[in-house]
Amino acid sequence: MNPYPKNIASKLPQTGTSIFAIMSQMAKAHNAINLSQGFPDFPVSEKLISLVHKYMQQGFNQYAPMPGLPALRDAIAEKTRFLYSASYNPETEITVTAGATQAIFTAISAFIREDDEVIIFEPAYDSYVPAIKLCGGTPVNIQLKLPDYHIDWSEVKNRITSRTKMIIINTPHNPTGSVLSASDMQELDKITRHTGILVLSDEVYEHIIFDGYEHQSVCRYPELASRSLVMCSFGKTFHATGWKTGYCVAPENLMKEFRKVHQFVVFAVNTPAQHAIAEYIQDKNNYTNLGQFYQEKRDYFLKLISNSKFKVIPAHGTYFQVLDYSNISDESEMDFAVKLIKEKGVASVPNSHFYKNHRNNQTLRFCFAKNNQTLEKAAEILCQI
């Protein structure tokens, strides 16, 4: 087909296809065990599935209210109060979204203008930068510091300018599994107090935290929360990434602007899924045991690969494990990851794709949200490399 118009100017000239789509597609093409894109390979709870079915059969199949089903917003308010002692008004301060991806895009679109600067920490989840750029904003990339991927707050302070409009944090952190501490949150609070800087806090792995660490939600810090939008994902929490359901909580003045955009990005979110989650989430065990469940998976995976040549980068959250392959190869992360798929049959994600300049640390990210048999098969291969 002849394209018309011919030389269309891309709004995102540096953006290719998401690395998650690329690696999952490659895993499929080569029949590799897919530990790349983050999604569980075990089923969603029967109970939750039957609830969706029930609500579909009962006829809850038309548009939900624009900000989300009242019963689900009430349940989110209760969950946020229970976990973080924070009070959000379900009427005006909670919006159900089509996953955290939409929440993030919506928040950035609602607040970022031409020439605004947004601080992000690298390695950074892939959806932040394109959203910032589409709004004409400038991402300001600050490197997390090795070996434990921590934030150097004095550097953050130095990089703030009169144009800084937002800081995006992510804890527990994808891809490294690092977690922010109470003192990190206090620093963030101090640095942004009495400024016009908003905080976007990506907390999709809020329940997937290990080794006795406690999730430091922005919601725990009232001053900080007063200028923050917090993003969560039911996809992670209920092993249902394909349902694309999540939410944003923020104070009323921010949520008012968020909803102005939300209504034209998606308007409303899948109705039967909202009904089902509203009921399922009443039982707190359905989310409070997730950390232990995934810690056992992480520990099992690490035990299985303990005799491999890969070096483990310690992680305290998410369902990802970063492994260093510098004892095995000098190749770039992408080259090594492709070889691992094509020649060995295991798919991972090259962490270089979470950096603007595709920085190579000779590390790959492996998702351990998998059945034990899947982990065993993958580990057997990794141990032979």
Q: Is 289 exposed, middle or buried, given 0-12, 13-18 or 19+ CB atoms closer than 10 A? A: exposed
Residues 167, 111 contacting (CB under 8 angstroms): no
Closer by beta carbon to ligand GLN, 36 or else 270:
36
Sequence-distant (6+) residues with CB within 8 A of 194 are: none
CB of 13 to ligand GLN, least distance (A): 21
Spatial distance between the Cα atoms of 201 and 245, rounded to a whole number of angstroms: 17
**Contact stretch for ligand PMP (CB under 6 A) within 97-105, 131-139, 153-161, 189-197:** 97-105
Spatial distance between the Cα atoms of 104 and 110, rounded to a whole number of angstroms: 10
- Give the residues lining the site for ligand GLN (CB under 6 A): 18, 20, 37-38, 174
The single residue listed with the structure tokens 């703030």 is 160
- Residue 203 engages ligand PMP in binding (rule: CB under 6 A): no
Return the one option of ligand PMP, ligand GLN, none that residue 246 interacts with (CB less than 5 to 8 A, by type). ligand PMP
Closer by beta carbon to ligand PMP, 41 or else 331:
41
Which of 233, 270, 321, 363 binds ligand PMP (CB under 6 A)? It is 233
End-to-end CA distance of the chain: 45
Return the one option of ligand GLN, ligand PMP, none that residue 235 interacts with (CB less than 5 to 8 A, by type). ligand PMP
Give residue 303's Cα distance to chain centre: 26
CB of 174 to ligand GLN, least distance (A): 5
Spatial distance between the Cα atoms of 105 and 249, rounded to a whole number of angstroms: 14
Spatial distance between the Cα atoms of 2 and 72, rounded to a whole number of angstroms: 48
- Residue 125 engages ligand PMP in binding (rule: CB under 6 A): yes
Return the one option of ligand PMP, ligand GLN, none that residue 18 interacts with (CB less than 5 to 8 A, by type). ligand GLN
Residues 260, 67 contacting (CB under 8 angstroms): no
- Residue 40 engages ligand PMP in binding (rule: CB under 6 A): no
CB of 279 to ligand GLN, least distance (A): 26
Return the one option of ligand GLN, ligand PMP, none that residue 189 interacts with (CB less than 5 to 8 A, by type). none
